């Protein structure tokens, strides 16, 4: 495998894994120990391949030229190894995980492809009309697994160039947001492809107390120091993940059921180092 082009090998590894898992599922072998051991060994090979890819500009450009099924397989494979933390175990000091995250976002943007594992089903829209509206999207209230959730539907524009730009923004926001896990950052639940035909929606917990602006208008400046501290903690966490929010304002700071702030709306967020 090492003698082959690493990009081709990554794509083939992804395709073979998809086919293998389908066959094993049909045969009832999905939990077989031998299968798990083989996948673990394959993960180690993938890490070695990926290190070669991200260390060479030519290989990175080749990844970004992937289209269709090849792009989807590569996106799913990188998402899988990131989820497992396999890249961290290979050595956390070489920045491999950071490079993988950035390449995943870029490939998703240029190929208009998102990891299949982010998609969820069973979301039930509760209101016909949007509860809130912003510059690029509308927020609807829905239910998922017995809990109230918010559906963020990106608005569609007539111009092809604008639509493409908004779609890229959707991909970037979903991929940046899904990796965030902090008490003062709004959780990412998944992507709903069913509630609106031909539209994708990002799903997150419903914040019934609304924005920090609404909270301050109704409750005054009580505990404002704590709110500021929580906002600062959330921002510090984002920066620790090499992410700049890019649009921090009152309407993008929500208040959860326990009256803690939650930073939201990562549509303009970027990596602090674009390389």
Asked about 31 being catalytic, the answer comes back as no
* 3-state SS track over the chain: CCCCCHHHHHHHHHHHHHHHHHHHHHCCCCCCHHHHHHHHHHHHHHHHHHHHHHCCHHHHHHHCCCCHHHHHHHHHHHHHHHHHCHHHHCCCCCCHHHHHHHHHHHHHHHHCCCCHHHECCCCEECCCCCCEECCCEEEEEEEECCEEEEEEEECCCCCHHHHHHHHHHHHHHHHHHCCCCCCCECCCCEEECCCCCCCCEEEEECCCCCEHHHHHHHHCCCCHHHHHHHHHHHHHHHHHCCEECCCCCHHHEEECCCCCEEECCCCCCEECCCC
Q: How far is it, in rounded angstroms, from Cα 204 to Cα 177? A: 10
Task: Tell me which of 93, 247, 257, 265 is the catalytic residue.
Answer: 247
- What residues act catalytically? 247
């Amino acid at each position: 495998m090492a003698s082959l082009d690493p990009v081709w090998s990554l794509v083939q590894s992804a395709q073979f894994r998809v086919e293998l898992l389908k066959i094993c599922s049909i045969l009832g072998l999905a939990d077989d120990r031998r299968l798990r051991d083989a996948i673990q060994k394959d993960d180690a090979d993938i890490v070695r391949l990926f290190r070669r890819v991200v260390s060479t500009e030519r290989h990175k450009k080749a990844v970004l030229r992937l289209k269709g099924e090849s792009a989807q397989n590569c996106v799913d494979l990188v998402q899988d190894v990131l989820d497992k933390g396999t890249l961290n175990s290979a050595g956390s000091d070489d920045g491999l995980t950071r490079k993988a995250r950035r390449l995943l976002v870029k490939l998703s943007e240029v190929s208009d492809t998102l990891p299949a594992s982010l998609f969820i089903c069973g979301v039930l829209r509760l209101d016909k009309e949007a509860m809130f509206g912003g510059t690029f999207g509308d927020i609807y209230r829905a239910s998922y697994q017995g809990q109230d959730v918010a559906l963020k539907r990106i608005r569609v524009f007539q111009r092809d160039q604008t639509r493409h730009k908004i779609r890229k923004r959707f991909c970037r926001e979903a991929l940046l947001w899904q990796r965030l896990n902090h008490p003062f950052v709004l959780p990412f639940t998944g992507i709903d492809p069913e509630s609106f035909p031909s539209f994708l929606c990002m799903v997150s917990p419903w914040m019934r107390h609304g924005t920090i602006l609404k909270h301050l208008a109704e409750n005054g400046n009580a505990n404002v120091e704590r709110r500021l501290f929580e906002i600062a903690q959330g921002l510090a966490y984002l920066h620790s993940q090499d992410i700049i929010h890019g649009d921090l304002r009152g309407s993008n700071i929500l208040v959860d059921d326990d009256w803690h702030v939650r930073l939201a709306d990562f549509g303009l967020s970027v990596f602090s180092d674009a390389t």
